Amino acid sequence: MAGVNWEKAYHDLEAHIEGILIETSELVNNASPKLRLNDVYIEQSHTLDIIIDATGEQMEYAVDLIDRKGKIETIKTGYQKSNTFSFDIPKGRYTITAYAKESQKENSRVFDKSTVNFKKVASNE
C-alpha cells in the first residue's frame, strides 16, 4: 500500500486503544454487582437461624417458613435490611424459602427453597 503513513497510523491506533481501555476500566469499576443468591446458611440451636448471602445493590431479605405438618401457621417475615433471621419454633420439618431483592429495582428478586428437620438444641445456661 503505497502512500500510507504507517507511523501516523500506528500513533492514531495507539491513542484510540488507550481511550478504549480507559472507558472499559471506568465501566468495569463503576458497574453495580449482578443480583445473585450465593448461599443460605441454616443453623440449629434453641432457635432456627437463617443467614442469606446474596450479591446485589441495596439488598433486602425475607423468609417464608412453612411447617410441613401444619402445626403452626406459615411465617412470612416481609423484607428487611438485615440478612439474618432467628425463629423460636417447635421441633418439626419445615420448608424454608429465602428471598433477596434489590430494593431500588422492580422485579429483581432471587430465592432458594430448602427443607430442614429442626430439633431444638438445649442451651448450656
Mean pLDDT estimate for the chain: 88
Pick from 31, 41, 49, 32: nearest CA to 102: 32
Separation CA 86–CA 21 (nearest Å): 47
Cut 0.75: pTM above it: no
Domain boundaries, position 102 = 36-118
Residues 41 and 100 placed together within one structural domain of the fold? yes
- Residues 54-70: pLDDT tens digits? 998 889 999 999 998 88
Residue with cell 454487582: 33
Q: What is the largest CA-CA distance in the chain?
A: 90
Average pLDDT of the residues in 96-101: 96
Q: How many domains does the chain have?
A: 2
- Asked whether residue 125 is assigned to any structural domain, the reply reads no
Residues 50 and 4 in one domain: no
